[in-house]
């Protein structure tokens, strides 16, 4: 079953939920037009890229904002740490004054958005690893051609396994395993169904990519993504016991709401966990800073940025960017907001 397909049965649940007070979708044209990149922080860009390249066949890519090069121009190599740059505009955008930084852009087969690693220097940064039940945690979900081959490569790299039992489990949505990359960031590898493999438009290990975000409360998160940004709810479901084990939990409940990013078929899943009373484990919220290792970041294409900033402020959401003021580059304008679970959401309005 595809990432999208596992939610089709819950479509009627989502339709009913839309009638809940305060969740009426906005009637106006969604301000979001697409997604450029999904970004997360790293503590070692070379080490992190080697993991994604060697395990999943993910390659370097050009920045979507580079411009000025022919279509066949090669991607830039990873800049050495000693050459990490600094930029007062980026400091204001990311609230990282005095830092140096570097970014790594990556291309994933059969995925309509890019991945990006960001690494910061000369500034305090957190390195707490996220557990699946922690609000603000995120997971990159790769559906792959050959899970056994991917699992062998993960084993060869001694990648930490979160899934109980230490190996892939057969879930209602296919065989899958949850692991950590070298920074501790959560990655789910899932066997793609035969039909998805046959229909893949490009070669490569990865057949489909989606994003899971753990939330403290799905209703509050839906207010941000659905009502403010215009994401479309595609289904809600309760996960099975084996799917809890996939996420490293022996008991509890997991409720998932899937959304589509406007202008795309990209799936984002809001995951809400509840543990049994008296459980020895407890969820720990994040308050992400962009420089933190593992910090999750959407980079969304938007239109009407000034209006969106005003609506975001009026709805009571915070901004990461200094003064909630966008910076301007040759490509367009950029500003960072913060969702209810401290996930960082960059609004990018390109010049047309």
The mean pLDDT of 293-299, rounded to a whole number, is 98
Query: Which residues contact residue 152 at a Cβ distance below 8 angstroms, ignoring those fewer than 6 apart?
Result: none
Q: Which of 9-18, 164-173, 292-301 has the lowest mean pLDDT?
A: 9-18
pLDDT of 312-328, one tens digit each? 999 999 999 999 999 99
C-alpha distances out from residue 346 to 11, 64, 335, Å: 29, 14, 6
Closest CA to 296 of 36, 112, 37, 38: 38
The mean pLDDT of 62-81, rounded to a whole number, is 83
Angle between helices 45-56 and 147-156 (to 10 degrees): 140
pLDDT of residue 71: 61
Half-sphere CA count of 339, side-chain side, radius 13 A:
35
* Residue 165 CB coordination number (10 Å): 10
Beta strands in 261-305 (DSSP E): 267-274, 296-302
What dihedral do alpha carbons 178, 106, 348, 209 form, nearest 10°? -40
Closest CA to 209 of 35, 30, 80, 21: 35
Is the Cβ–Cβ distance between 182 and 238 less than 8 Å? no
Higher pLDDT, 187 or 280: 187
Helices (H) and strands (E) in the chain, counts: 8, 16
pLDDT of 93-143, one tens digit each? 999 999 999 999 999 999 999 999 999 999 999 999 999 999 999 999 999
pLDDT at residue 202 tops 70? yes
pLDDT of residue 280: 85
Distance CA 15, CA 329 (A): 40
pLDDT of residue 10: 40
pLDDT at residue 8 tops 80? no
Query: Residue 20: pLDDT band by 50, 70, 90 thresholds?
Result: very low
pLDDT of residue 4: 53
CA 248 to chain centroid: 20
pLDDT of 276-285, one tens digit each? 998 988 999 9
Is the Cβ–Cβ distance between 164 and 245 less than 8 Å? yes
Helix (H) or strand (E) segment spanning residue 131: none
Q: Could you give the percent of the chain with pLDDT greater than 70?
A: 91
pLDDT at residue 82 tops 50? yes
CATH architecture for the domain at 5-350: Roll (3.10)
pLDDT of residue 18: 37
Is the Cβ–Cβ distance between 242 and 177 less than 8 Å? no
Q: Which of 1-10, 50-59, 225-234, 329-338 has the lowest mean pLDDT?
A: 1-10
Helix (H) or strand (E) segment spanning residue 45: helix 45-56
């Amino acid at each position: 079953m595809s990432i999208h397909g596992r939610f089709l049965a819950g479509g009627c649940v989502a339709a009913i939920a839309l009638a809940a007070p305060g969740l009426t979708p906005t009637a106006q044209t969604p301000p979001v037009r697409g997604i450029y990149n999904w970004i997360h922080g790293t503590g070692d860009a070379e080490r992190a890229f080697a993991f994604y390249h060697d395990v999943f066949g993910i390659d370097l890519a050009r920045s979507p904002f580079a411009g000025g090069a022919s279509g066949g121009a090669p991607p830039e190599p990873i800049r050495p740490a000693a050459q990490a740059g600094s930029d007062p505009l980026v400091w204001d955008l990311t609230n990282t004054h005095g830092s140096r930084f570097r970014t790594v852009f990556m291309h994933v087969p059969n995925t309509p958005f890019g991945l990006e690693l960001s690494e910061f220097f000369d500034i305090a940064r957190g390195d707490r690893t996220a557990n699946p039940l922690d609000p603000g945690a995120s997971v990159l979900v790769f559906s792959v051609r050959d899970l056994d081959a991917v699992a062998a490569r993960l084993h060869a790299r001694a990648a930490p396994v979160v899934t109980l039992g230490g190996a892939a489990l057969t879930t209602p949505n296919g065989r899958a395993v949850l692991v950590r990359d070298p920074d501790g960031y959560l990655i789910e590898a899932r066997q793609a169904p035969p039909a998805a493999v046959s229909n893949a438009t490009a070669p490569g290990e990865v057949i489909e990519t989606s994003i899971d975000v753990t939330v403290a409360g799905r209703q509050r998160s839906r207010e941000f993504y659905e009502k403010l940004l215009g994401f479309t709810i595609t289904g809600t479901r309760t996960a099975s016991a084996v799917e809890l084990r996939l996420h490293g939990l022996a008991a509890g409940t997991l409720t998932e709401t899937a959304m589509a990013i406007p202008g795309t078929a990209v799936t984002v899943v809001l995951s809400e966990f509840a543990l049994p009373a008296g459980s020895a484990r407890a969820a720990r919220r994040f308050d992400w800073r962009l420089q933190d290792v593992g910090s999750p970041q959407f980079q969304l294409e938007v239109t009407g940025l000034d209006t969106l900033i005003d609506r975001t402020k009026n709805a009571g959401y915070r901004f990461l960017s200094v003064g909630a003021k966008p910076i301007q580059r040759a490509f367009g304008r950029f500003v960072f907001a913060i969702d209810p679970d401290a996930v960082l959401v960059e609004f990018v309005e390109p010049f047309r």
